[in-house]
Amino acid sequence: SRAVLAGGRVPLSAGSRASIQTALRTLLAVPWPSQRDIGSALQLLAVLQWVLSFLLLGIVSLLLLIYLLFTSLWLIPVLYLAWIIFDWDTPEKGGRRLSCLRRWTVWKHFRDYFPVKLVKTHDLSPSHNYIIGSHPHGILCVGAFCNFITGSTGFEELFPGIRSFLTTLAGNFRLPLFREYLMSGGLFPVTRRAIGYLLSQKGTGNAVAIVIGGAAESLSCRPGVTTLILKNRKGFVRMALRHGAFLVPSFSFGENDLFRQVVFEEGTWMRSIQRRFQKMMGFAPCLFYGRGLTSCRSRGFLPYARPITTVVGEPLAVPKVENPSRELVDRYHELYIHALLKLFNENKTKYGLSESDELHIL
């Protein structure tokens, strides 16, 4: 029989038509992703972009600009370098906070992945400035970032008239492009100059969140253990006294459950290396892991989906004293610790801990 009929059309045999119909039925029988599946995928992608941004954006941008210096596009890194020199002091003068970035829809997916929740216990008056102590540090400060930088948990609605900021390592603002990303969200260096500017030059209604335990606290981060590095951290109290900023304790329940960490005991050579690296670079190298990208049962660098509840406590009124004495600093430091312990004990059984769990302060 001829393969080609009039008009150039190839006839289909009964067997071919049956095969196509079977294939179509099989395709239609495959279940389409549900709304829940799509939501879960968006949440995972939101967390992935956040982790990659904080781990890689700075170094990748730096390497890219160095590479461009040796290409025909050399003018781009040269002009950007000139811009950084001109803009050098901006991070310590309030930065460039962009409300549109804080309201990105991606942050709602980020919030829902864990999920993250913000709990208010007392009002914050817009007629004062505040230093919010954020505890614990955890590995990546997810609770502090989600609540004080993004608008996804409703900080501005819960505390009308209050603008929240979050401090981070000053070295992050030396990395190209990464510095712009950080400033646009309301992050700024954890330096006396930067904190003092926000508490004295930007009016009232400013809430500066500081993860007080810092890099040292991340070395003790592990599920089931609540240890804070706070006993000798008094600089934030001194800053509060100098500017008359009220102290506000906050605690993120669940922060230490997001990753698993290999914890080296004090006195071991690995612990010694971590301490030395921390002193030189400002952060501590941690050996940690979370879930993988394709399955929550595999190991990877993404945080586990564990609920985080950040409870903001009662503000502690602080007088304005330009040169506070050591005794005055110690007094308000003790009052702050007492307020933090009260906040922890009153809320621990509500958010995943038992009555017997204690807060260890070193």
pLDDT in tens, 17-65: 667 767 666 656 666 677 787 889 999 999 999 999 988 999 999 999 9
- What whole-number percentage of the chain has pLDDT above 70? 83
> Which residues, 6 or more positions from 108, have their beta carbon under 8 angstroms from its beta carbon?
152
> Residues 139-154: what's their mean pLDDT?
94
267 falls in which pLDDT band (50, 70, 90)? low
Question: Which position has the higher pLDDT, 274 or 326?
Answer: 326
- What is the rounded distance in angstroms from the CA atom of residue 252 to the CA atom of residue 317? 22
Cβ contact 47:39 at 8 Å: no
> Residues 251-264: what's their mean pLDDT?
84
> Residues 350-357: what's their mean pLDDT?
88
Question: Which position has the higher pLDDT, 21 or 302?
Answer: 302
284 falls in which pLDDT band (50, 70, 90)? low
- What is the rounded distance in angstroms from the CA atom of residue 218 to the CA atom of residue 12? 68
- What is the rounded distance in angstroms from the CA atom of residue 243 to the CA atom of residue 235? 13
- What pLDDT was estimated at residue 2? 44
Q: Is the pLDDT of residue 9 over 60?
A: no
- What is the rounded distance in angstroms from the CA atom of residue 296 to the CA atom of residue 270? 29
> Which residues, 6 or more positions from 9, have their beta carbon under 8 angstroms from its beta carbon?
none
Specify the pairing of strand 163-168 against strand 227-228. unpaired
Question: Which position has the higher pLDDT, 214 or 22?
Answer: 214
- What pLDDT was estimated at residue 228? 92
Looking at 111-115, 192-196, 259-263, which range is the least confident one? Answer: 259-263
> Residues 127-137: what's their mean pLDDT?
96
Joined together, the tokens standing for residue 182 give 């950080």
- What is the rounded distance in angstroms from the CA atom of residue 335 to the CA atom of residue 244? 15
Question: Which position has the higher pLDDT, 325 or 256?
Answer: 325
φ, ψ of residue 115 in degrees (nearest 5)? -90, 165
Averaged pLDDT score across all residues of the chain? 87
Q: What is the pTM (predicted TM-score) of this model?
A: 0.86
- What is the rounded distance in angstroms from the CA atom of residue 301 to the CA atom of residue 292? 6
- What is the rounded distance in angstroms from the CA atom of residue 245 to the CA atom of residue 187? 19
Concatenated DSSP letters for 121-189?
-S---TTS-EEEEEE--TTT-HHHHHHHTSSTT-HHHHSTT-EEEEEE-GGGGGSTTHHHHHHHHTEEE
CA distances, 266 to each of 60, 142, 149, 216, 226 (Å): 34, 26, 34, 12, 17
Looking at 71-75, 238-242, 274-278, 335-339, which range is the least confident one? Answer: 274-278
CA distances, 288 to each of 111, 194, 233 (Å): 22, 31, 25
φ, ψ of residue 51 in degrees (nearest 5)? -65, -45
Cβ contact 223:288 at 8 Å: no
Cβ contact 188:167 at 8 Å: yes
- What pLDDT was estimated at residue 270? 63
> Residues 308-331: what's their mean pLDDT?
96
146 falls in which pLDDT band (50, 70, 90)? very high
Q: Which amino acid is at 275?
A: R
> Which residues, 6 or more positions from 360, have their beta carbon under 8 angstroms from its beta carbon?
225, 226, 227, 228
Question: Which position has the higher pLDDT, 95 or 327?
Answer: 327
- What pLDDT was estimated at residue 19? 72
Question: Which position has the higher pLDDT, 232 or 268?
Answer: 232
Question: Which position has the higher pLDDT, 267 or 330?
Answer: 330
- What is the rounded distance in angstroms from the CA atom of residue 223 to the CA atom of residue 356? 15
Please, which residues bridge with residue 165 across strands? 208
